[in-house]
Amino acid sequence: MKPAEQSPVIARKLMEMYLQAGLPPGVLNYLPGTGETVGAALVAHPDVALIAFTGSRQVGLAIHTKAAEISAHGTRMVKHVIAEMGGKNAIIVDSDADLDEAVQGVVHSAFGYAGQKCSACSRAIVVEEVYDAFVHRLVEATRSLKVGPAIDPSTDVPAVIDREAYERVMSYLEIGQSEATLAVAG
């Protein structure tokens, strides 16, 4: 198990739980480090049969390519790669939807964990007949969110994990402002 370098503690705690539950030592190994070093070594190792990756499209494609090369020339098996690469998850809101429930679903999915999860809602597809009502309710719900420290239980939206994530969010805001009229920004 090689966690993202930004969040090794959670994976370490999970590893401890596996061991406490009786998983024999060596069946699952905890391998923290950067993707460029530890991740690359795992992908290249001839005895690693399965790679599960969540991250960018660019890195996911590089993993697929390297796994295919190694499978063709240096392993007894074909490496399997499962990759979730920068998905754009949508919530669809139809005309018969409960708009309050739909708004809460979008808000929870888009802003939970500060939107830093692969399943975060990054777009809502809303039928025209309920679009205006949905957007109005979504704007109000979004404006009511409290931004603050993660340690404060009343915080709805904590800070993102690091400077790189912050800069990525800011770049998406710039794209949004250049391509559309934003209902809420800030």
Catalytic annotation, residues: 84, 118
Cβ neighbours of 79 (radius 10 Å): 23
Quick check: helix, strand or coil at residue 126? strand
**Tokens representing 170?**
């800011």
| Closest by Cα among 79, 74, 30, 34 to 52 | 79
Q: What is the DSSP string of 11-80?
A: HHHHHHHHHHTTPPTTSS----S-IIIIIHHHHH-TT--EEEEEE-HHHHHHHHHHHHHHHHHT-SSPPE
